[in-house]
């Protein structure tokens, strides 16, 4: 099989059978988009909800979904049916058209990034040569739908939530993009497929970027969590302060679209992290495409199937890590959120860009090893500093001894 996408091959084959070869690219995009939405994103996002409930239940000594289906596997489909049958409430003073369209804008913004995200070897709808820029751009469209939803609701709590979301996006989009530039500069490409290929050369030689850029990996993960409004950065939906946030006036399937978009963004974050820092669809030390070249399982290349399974496993691991963070850390304050983004993440990301640029410009021998050594020294130093940082003696709260009163 050549280097083109499976969807392109299927689209051009179908167009030739229809006698319209000029329809090939359009059919490839339509088939790939429909398959992604109905056979990948929606089922996976639905069961991410189930996995979140089960994982947090296990962490908190609860059962989680248990009764609807085996171990509650049918709980999420049952919730979808329930939401579809609930009354659709429109506030009297709301802007009806924008109020109705806003959830669709948020969900479509979460979906559009998958057009250029490869899910395995040759398994991408359109491998854009500016794929990283495209994903970063469309991910920022979510805030437009949030602002439209809040403004059209004519609710002051929703509007405060939208303002928070805009401020949070502006603050954390900068370190997110700066962190993305680390792998881009090392790869010399904006294509996500080429970034994966650059991390594995030959059959067993691996250059996963997490080994040489662990600090940037943490910056990217933190900024992405904040941009997606995931705990501990969920001040946009702080129930104790602004009721339920920007979607406080929504009910039924409109609310469900916001809910699904949040999990779809978490899925995007996990896949992008696996692609940029964890070698994509390659097993540690093994180049899947080189190892399984020329082998097919019917019409499907074996490398595509195995690579998709490997990437899926890494994605599930990262999703579980995000849920672990979500169930462990408390929500930060607004001032803490802004200080951390502007005073910590942005300076660290800029320093990394200067370091990577110097290594590339001066052609430092074994540049990857130099970057890795500096990153790991910085990371270990920061961890040791954080561990030793304790309250001064005067501020410590005395703890009564066992069996004493006080």
What are 92-150's pLDDT values in tens digits? Answer: 777 888 888 888 888 888 888 888 888 888 888 888 888 888 888 888 788 888 888 88
Q: How confident is the model at residue 402 (pLDDT cuts 50, 70, 90)?
A: low
Q: Is the confidence at residue 1, as pLDDT, over 60?
A: no
Look at residue 30 and tell me if it is in a domain. Answer: no
- Per-residue model confidence (pLDDT) at position 271: 92
Q: Is the confidence at residue 179, as pLDDT, over 50?
A: yes
Q: Is the confidence at residue 285, as pLDDT, over 80?
A: no
Percentage, residues of the chain above pLDDT 90: 8
Q: Which alpha helices (H) appear in 278-333, and where do they start and end?
A: 288-291, 302-328
Look at residue 52 and tell me if it is in a domain. Answer: no
Q: Is the confidence at residue 2, as pLDDT, over 70?
A: no
**Across residues 48-52, what is the average pLDDT?**
87
Look at residue 45 and tell me if it is in a domain. Answer: no
Percentage, residues of the chain above pLDDT 70: 90
Return the structure tokens found at 237: 């939906």
- Per-residue model confidence (pLDDT) at position 27: 77
Question: What is the domain range of residue 148?
Answer: 77-385
| Distance between first and last Cα of the chain | 76
Q: Is the confidence at residue 160, as pLDDT, over 90?
A: no
Q: Is the confidence at residue 204, as pLDDT, over 70?
A: no
Q: 3-state class of 298 per DSSP?
A: coil
CB neighbour burial string for 163-199, b if at least 16 within 10 angstroms, e if fewer: ebbbbbbebbbbbbbbbbbbbbebbebbbbbbbbbbb
Look at residue 271 and tell me if it is in a domain. Answer: yes
CA dihedral 75, 76, 82, 85 (to 10 degrees): -150
- Per-residue model confidence (pLDDT) at position 317: 93
Looking at every residue in the chain, the average pLDDT score rounds to: 81
Rounded Cα gap, residues 405 and 51, in angstroms: 44
Number of domains in the chain: 1
Look at residue 4 and tell me if it is in a domain. Answer: no
Q: Would you say how long the chain is, in residues? A: 406
Look at residue 125 and tell me if it is in a domain. Answer: yes
Q: How confident is the model at residue 44 (pLDDT cuts 50, 70, 90)?
A: confident
- Per-residue model confidence (pLDDT) at position 123: 82
- Per-residue model confidence (pLDDT) at position 219: 92
What confidence tens digit (pLDDT) does each residue in 351-392 have? Answer: 999 998 888 888 888 778 888 889 899 888 888 877 666 555
Q: 3-state class of 38 per DSSP?
A: helix
- Per-residue model confidence (pLDDT) at position 397: 53
339 CB-near residues (< 8 Å, 6+ apart): none
């Amino acid at each position: 099989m050549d280097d083109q996408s499976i969807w392109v091959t299927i689209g051009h084959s179908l167009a030739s059978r229809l006698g319209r070869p000029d329809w090939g690219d359009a059919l490839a995009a339509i088939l790939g988009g429909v398959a992604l939405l109905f056979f990948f994103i929606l089922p996976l996002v639905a069961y991410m909800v189930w996995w979140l409930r089960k994982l947090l239940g296990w962490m908190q000594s609860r059962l989680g979904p248990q009764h609807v289906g085996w171990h509650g596997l049918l709980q999420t489909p049952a919730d979808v049916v329930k939401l579809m049958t609930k009354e659709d409430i429109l506030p009297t003073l709301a802007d009806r058209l924008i109020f109705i369209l806003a959830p669709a804008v948020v969900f479509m913004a979460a979906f559009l990034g998958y057009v250029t995200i490869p899910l395995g070897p040759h398994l991408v709808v359109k491998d854009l040569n500016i794929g990283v820029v495209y994903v970063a751009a469309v991910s920022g469209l979510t805030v437009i739908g949030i602002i439209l939803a809040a403004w059209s609701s004519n609710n002051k709590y929703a509007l405060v939530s939208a303002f928070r979301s805009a401020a949070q996006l502006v603050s954390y989009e900068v370190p997110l993009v700066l962190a993305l530039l680390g792998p881009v500069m090392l790869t010399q490409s904006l294509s996500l497929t080429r970034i994966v290929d650059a991390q594995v050369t030959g059959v067993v030689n691996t250059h996963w970027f997490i080994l040489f850029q662990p600090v940037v990996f943490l910056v990217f993960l933190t900024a992405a969590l904040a941009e997606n409004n995931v705990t501990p950065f969920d001040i946009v939906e702080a129930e104790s302060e602004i009721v339920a946030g920007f979607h406080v006036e929504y009910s039924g399937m409109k609310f469900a679209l916001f809910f699904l978009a949040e999990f779809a963004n978490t899925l995007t974050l996990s896949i992008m992290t696996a692609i940029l820092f964890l070698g994509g669809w390659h097993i540690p030390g093994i180049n899947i495409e080189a190892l399984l070249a020329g082998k097919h399982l019917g019409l499907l290349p074996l490398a595509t199937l195995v690579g998709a399974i490997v990437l899926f496993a890494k994605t599930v691991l990262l999703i579980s890590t995000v849920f672990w963070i979500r169930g462990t850390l408390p929500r930060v304050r607004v001032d803490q959120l802004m200080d951390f983004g502007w005073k910590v993440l942005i300076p660290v990301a800029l320093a990394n860009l200067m370091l990577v640029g110097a290594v590339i410009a001066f052609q430092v021998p074994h540049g990857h090893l130099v970057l890795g050594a500096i990153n790991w020294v910085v990371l270990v130093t920061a961890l040791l500093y954080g561990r030793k940082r304790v309250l001064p003696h005067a501020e410590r709260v005395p703890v009564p001894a066992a069996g004493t009163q006080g």
